[in-house]
Amino acid sequence: MNKIAVKVDDLTVAYNYKPVLWDIDLKIPEGVLMAIVGPNGAGKSTLIKSILGILKPIAGSVSIYGKPYEKQRQLVAYVPQKGSVDWDFPTTALDVVMMGTYGSLGWIKRPGQKEKKAALEALEKVGMLAFKNRQISQLSGGQQQRIFLARALVQNASIYFMDEPFQGVDATTEIAIINILKELRKAGKTVIVVHHDLQTVPEYFDWVTFLNVKKIATGPVRDIFNDDNLTKTYGINYQVSIQE
């Protein structure tokens, strides 16, 4: 097996001390395109938020390539849920993508030509170059999602975490995004996606983690994406027709 990109040990997370994730052990090998699936409230977003240090776990630890997250930030990029920000914020598409460079800039230093160039390249990659000066509220849902993806691409990371990137986007954008994700995997990057559309799992991903408060299963899609695990995750007699 490949190197382990992300290793989660005994992670337990609680909101207001109400447990949301229980004793999660997870090893994500380098270079996979992985979906995290599970019912609503299963703790999918919570899992990636705790890996990224946004939420503080009550127990357990996370390591990125063998070191704690704080030391490996530059290797990690994050695409939050589209609905988590105010899209009426007075800023342009290019500006949002530039934010991806802020982490490597550190405190106080301003982005310059180099950062702008990187941002423009990322915009081109997601097919949004023409909209670079557009106010973000004037973009469609799919376009907003592409901007978020571009912002993560600018970070030029090794591991990408994405929270529901296909929610509320049009079919063209969905295809565009998945193509970019597949390209990232080809380039040896690890991509971890919180996903809710079970139908598309076999088509889009090569690795999957079933999650419902505790980890149900994790592994290659062709081995473990089956009715047994789906039932365990989603409850009794969960039926899903998997299209091959």
Partner 1 sequence: MTNKTNNDCKSKNLATTKTMDITKYIELVFTDYTLRTITLGTAILGAVTGMLGSFAVLRKQSLLGDAISHAALPGIAIAFLITGAKDSNTLLIGALISGLIGTFWIRGIVTKTHLKSDTALGLILSLFFGFGMLLLTFIQKQPNANQAGLDKYLFGQAATLVESDVWLMAIITGICLIVMLTFWKEFKILLFDADYTKTLGFNTKFIDILITTFIVLAIVLGLQTVGVVLMSAMLLAPAAAARQWTNSLSVMVVLAALFGAFSGVFGTAISASQDNLSTGPVIVLVAGVFVVFSFIFSPNRGLLFKQIRFIKNRRDLELHKTLAFMHHIAETHEDISHPHAVKLLNNFQGYTRSTLQKLVDKNYVQLHGNMWSLTKTGFEVASNLYTKQSTEDE
Partner 2 sequence: MSNAQLEIQLIASLVAVACAIPGTFLVLRKMAMISDAISHSILPGIVIGFFITQDLNSPILILLAALTGIITVVLVEYIQKTGLVKEDTAIGLVFPALFSIGVILIAKNANDVHLDVDAVLLGELAFAPFDRLLIGGTDVGPKSLWVIGTILLVTIALLILFFKELKLSTFDKGLAASLGFSPAIIHYGLMSVSSITTVGAFDAVGAILVVALMIAPAAAAYLLTTDLKKMLALAITFGVFSAILGYWVAHWLDASIAGSITTVLGFVFLLVYLFAPSKGIIAVMYREKQQRTEVSLLTFLLHLKNHDEIEERHVNHLNEHINWQKVRSKTVLELALKNNMIHIENNIVSLTKKGNNFTSKAINYIITNEDTQIEDMKDDFFLFRG
Taking alpha carbons only, the member of 190, 189, 224 closest to residue 209 is 224
**Which is nearer to partner 2, 91 or 200 (by Cβ)?**
91
Binding status of residue 130 toward partner 1 by CB under 8 A = no
Contacts of 128 (CB under 8 A, 6+ apart): 93, 143, 146, 147, 150
How much of the chain is in helix, strand and coil states, percent to nearest 5? 40, 25, 35
Q: What are phi and psi of 214, to 5 degrees?
A: -115, 165
3-state secondary structure of 184: helix
Going across the sheet that includes 59-64, the strands are 18-29, 4-15, 59-64, 67-68
Is residue 92 within the footprint of partner 1 (CB under 8 A)?
yes
Q: Residue 140: what are its φ and ψ, rounded to 5°?
A: -75, 170
Contact partner, 213, from partner 1, partner 2, none, Cβ < 5-8 Å per class: partner 2
Using CB under 8 A, which residues numbered 46 to 75 contact partner 2?
A: 58-61
Task: Please give the residues from 19 up to 78 whose contact with partner 1 meets the rule CB under 8 A.
Answer: 49, 52-54, 70, 73, 76, 78
The interface region with partner 2, picked from 104-112, 172-180, 188-196, 209-217 by CB under 8 A, is 209-217
| In the complex, least distance from residue 89 CB atom to partner 1, rounded to whole angstroms | 5
Binds 135: which of partner 1, partner 2, none (CB < 5-8 Å by kind):
partner 1
- Alpha-carbon torsion 221, 222, 224, 230, what sign? positive
Shortest Å distance, C-beta 54 to partner 1: 5
Q: Binding residues for partner 1, per CB under 8 A?
A: 49, 52-54, 70, 73, 76, 78, 80, 84-86, 89-92, 96, 99, 102-103, 105-111, 135
The residues of the shown chain that bind partner 2, judged by CB under 8 A, are 9-10, 12, 14, 16-19, 22-23, 25, 41, 58-61, 88, 212-214
